Amino acid sequence: MKKFLVGIAVASAVALALTGCSGSGSTAGGSAKVITVGFAQTGSESGWRAANTQSMKDAFSTENGFKLIFNAADNKPENQIAAVHSFINQGVDAIVIAAVVTTGWDDVLKEAKDANIPVILEDRTIDADPSLYASWIGDDFKQEGVTAGAWAAKTLGTTATSMVVLEGTTGSAPAIDRATGFGSAIKGTQIKTLDSQTGNFTRADGKTVMEGFLQKYGKSINLLFAQNDDMGLGALDAIKSAGLTPGKDIQIVAIDGTKDGLTALSQGDFNYVVECNPLLGEQVATVVKDVIAGKKVDKAYTAKDGAFDKDQATAALPTRKY
Ligand code: GZL
């Protein structure tokens, strides 16, 4: 599994684009053939998703030799399957998928394979025969969970701690893997889970579910693990409305590292934020061009992720790209 530094990927992709020496062969006049790509995005559920979508649209530009057909599925798996069927029927050159959930992909991916249309996964992984897709580009969700859990274990593990969890989209790879990683990191500590429910990676649902947790458990909650910044940001409203102080009465650890999440951390509302880099577009575009050109590509490209405490967030904010 290859780790990539977005900076290096950007340099190589720009170099390839400038020299025009990538893409599927060349047409008369030496210009590369336009590559038509169908992109099945989850939807627009979070700040992270907005940054990921922009990164993909920037990379799959006409200047870079692409025609992008973009579909946002409103986080409905059935909409995504329909979008991929449509891309196949349109005869696109390649399909990129950020899968809402991990299951239900084999049949439509077999259709893409039968149509000789390569599939590349970005962001989320799926449970399907690996021969049905050329490559995956994304972040290590399990490690993100381990990093968040290790902070919780170090900070609160030796005192009786009651935790509630705002889970991501049910059945999605980040929700599954972050929970696994976090659970492994707090094993054997005094952190006990009071409740765990999905907030669908959105602020609105994060607030609603946190309101329910507060009605049920009140001041006995010491820690909130929000599987993305947006649900944690929604929970802040609920915590403050309950007359409690986030970051103090209830400590909060979240994952994504968006500007809003790092701002909450810098202001003391959050206590720790683990990064999940959404700027995947350049790497995905490079892999698509290589696949179309018949070059060998790795099965997985993993983005580098960091983590932030209050001071690190304050230092990072002035130049934060998303
Ligand atoms: C993670 C990505 C998740 C983010 C959420 O790579 O799939 O989906 O953590 C987003 O913010 O909605």
Does residue 7 have a pLDDT over 60? no
Residue 288, in any domain of the structure: yes
Number of domains in the chain: 2
Same domain, 39 and 150: no
- 144 vs 27: which has the higher pLDDT: 144
As a whole number, mean pLDDT of residues 261-281 equals 98
Kindly report the pTM of this predicted structure. 0.91
Using a 6 Å cutoff on CB, does residue 45 contact ligand 1? yes
Same domain, 233 and 288: no
Residue 195, in any domain of the structure: yes
Residue 42, in any domain of the structure: yes
Per-residue pLDDT at 2: 63
Same domain, 210 and 156: yes
- Confidence band (pLDDT; 50, 70, 90) for 17? very low
Q: Which atom of ligand 1 is nearest to the CA of 256?
A: 9
* 49 Cα: distance to centroid of ligand 1 (angstroms): 6
As a whole number, mean pLDDT of residues 220-244 equals 98
Residue 57, in any domain of the structure: yes
| pLDDT tens-digit series, residues 33-49 | 999 999 999 999 999 99
Same domain, 117 and 96: yes
> Of 47, 94, 42, nearest to 68 (Cα)?
94
Mutate to test the pocket of ligand 1, among 80, 102, 201, 225 (most ligand atoms within 8 A of CB): 201
Residue 321, in any domain of the structure: no
Using a 6 Å cutoff on CB, does residue 139 contact ligand 1? yes
Same domain, 265 and 205: yes
Same domain, 111 and 234: no
Same domain, 146 and 128: no
Same domain, 77 and 181: no
Using a 6 Å cutoff on CB, does residue 272 contact ligand 1? no
Same domain, 295 and 209: no
As a whole number, mean pLDDT of residues 304-321 equals 97
Same domain, 15 and 103: yes
As a whole number, mean pLDDT of residues 196-206 equals 98
- Nearest CA residue ID for atom 11, ligand 1: 48
Token pair recorded at residue 247: 């970051």
> Of 116, 202, 217, nearest to 163 (Cα)?
217
The rounded distance, in Å, linking the Cα atoms of 11 and 170 is 36
Same domain, 126 and 148: no
Per-residue pLDDT at 13: 42
Using a 6 Å cutoff on CB, does residue 136 contact ligand 1? no
As a whole number, mean pLDDT of residues 127-131 equals 98
Residue 262, in any domain of the structure: yes
Q: Which atom of ligand 1 is nearest to the CA of 172?
A: 7
Per-residue pLDDT at 234: 98
Same domain, 41 and 134: yes
- Confidence band (pLDDT; 50, 70, 90) for 32? confident
| pLDDT tens-digit series, residues 108-126 | 999 999 999 999 999 999 9
Residue 317, in any domain of the structure: no
Which long-range contacts link 126-133 to residues 24+ away (Cβ below 8 Å)?
A: 126/97, 126/99, 126/102, 126/173, 127/102, 127/103, 130/299, 132/105, 132/106, 133/97, 133/109
As a whole number, mean pLDDT of residues 303-316 equals 97
Using a 6 Å cutoff on CB, does residue 174 contact ligand 1? yes
Q: Which atom of ligand 1 is nearest to the CA of 229?
A: 11
Does residue 19 have a pLDDT over 70? no
As a whole number, mean pLDDT of residues 256-276 equals 98
Does residue 309 have a pLDDT over 70? yes
Residue 206, in any domain of the structure: yes
Using a 6 Å cutoff on CB, does residue 282 contact ligand 1? no
Mutate to test the pocket of ligand 1, among 96, 121, 256 (most ligand atoms within 8 A of CB): 256
Domain containing residue 91:
2-138+278-303
Which CATH number does the domain housing residue 242 bear?
Answer: 3.40.50.2300
Q: Which of 276, 293, 313 is the last residue of a domain?
A: 276
Using a 6 Å cutoff on CB, does residue 228 contact ligand 1? yes
Per-residue pLDDT at 4: 67
Per-residue pLDDT at 21: 38
As a whole number, mean pLDDT of residues 50-72 equals 98
Residue 303, beta-bridge partner list? 4
Token pair recorded at residue 220: 């006995």
